Structure formats: C-alpha cells, structure tokens
C-alpha cells in the first residue's frame, strides 16, 4: 500500500486519467474529490461490502421466483379448467332443457 501525505487542495494522479484531490479536512473527516472516466466504477468501500453481503445472502436464500411463478400459473390453469367444465355442464343442461321443450 502506498501511503501519502496531502494537504487541502493537493491531489494524486492514478494512471493517466484518475485524479484524487483533498477538498476539505475537518476534525476526523476528509472530503475527497475524484475525477475518473465514466467507465471506471467509483464506490465507497462500505457500500461494496454491503452489496457483497446482500448478494451472498440472496444466493443462500431458498426463495425461487421461478417456482413461485410456475405455481401461480398452475393454480390459474386449474381454476380456468374448473370454470370451463362448469360452463360445459351449464351448456349441456341448457341444451337438454331446449330439447325437452322441443319434444
């Protein structure tokens, strides 16, 4: 690890296109400015740690949205089939009543 001492408004250059500048120093906080190409991801370390932990927990989770969706589709198809057979029974009954009238 390279350790440098910088004063306010002093900076460092990383590679050819990243500049880190000390913008402000107050008590135990240092405000840094970072100029980098948009293609370079710049993220606070604690956020990266939190994201990695969330991803690790998600992988271990038993939640499976595909199974949930398949289950919902199966239930929907069952209820549609039951509705179709109920309407078939109603249609058959109506047809029988019409034939009885015609006799």
pTM for this entry: 0.52
Name residues whose C-beta falls within 8 Å of residue 12's C-beta, 6 or more positions apart in sequence: 4, 6, 19, 20
CA-CA-CA-CA torsion for 31, 33, 39, 41, nearest 10 degrees? -10
C-alpha span between 31 and 29 (Å, rounded): 7
Q: Average of pLDDT values for 84-98? A: 54
pLDDT digits (tens, 9 = 90+) for 19-60: 999 999 999 999 999 999 999 999 999 999 999 999 998 888
Does some domain include residue 92? no
Domain span holding position 18: 1-42
Give a yes or no: residue 101 inside a domain: no
Q: Is the pLDDT of residue 102 over 50?
A: no
Evaluated on CA atoms 70, 73, 77, 79, the torsion sign reads positive
Tally the domains of the chain: 2
Q: Could you tell me if residue 5 is inside a domain?
A: yes
The pLDDT-based confidence of 84 (bands split at 50, 70, 90) is low
Three-class DSSP category at 21: strand
| 89, two tokens | 């029974």
**33 and 55 fall within a common domain:** no
For 38-94, list the strands marked E by DSSP. Answer: none
């Amino acid at each position: 690890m390279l350790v440098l001492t910088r004063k306010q408004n002093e900076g460092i250059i990383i590679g050819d296109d990243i500049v880190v500048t000390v913008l402000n120093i107050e008590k135990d906080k240092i405000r840094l400015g970072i100029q980098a190409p948009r293609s370079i991801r710049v993220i606070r370390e604690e956020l990266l740690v939190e994201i990695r932990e969330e991803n690790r927990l998600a992988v271990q989770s038993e939640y499976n949205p595909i199974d949930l969706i398949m289950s919902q589709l199966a239930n929907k198809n069952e209820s549609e089939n039951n509705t179709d057979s109920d309407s078939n029974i109603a249609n058959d009954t109506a047809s029988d009543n019409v034939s009885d009238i015609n006799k």
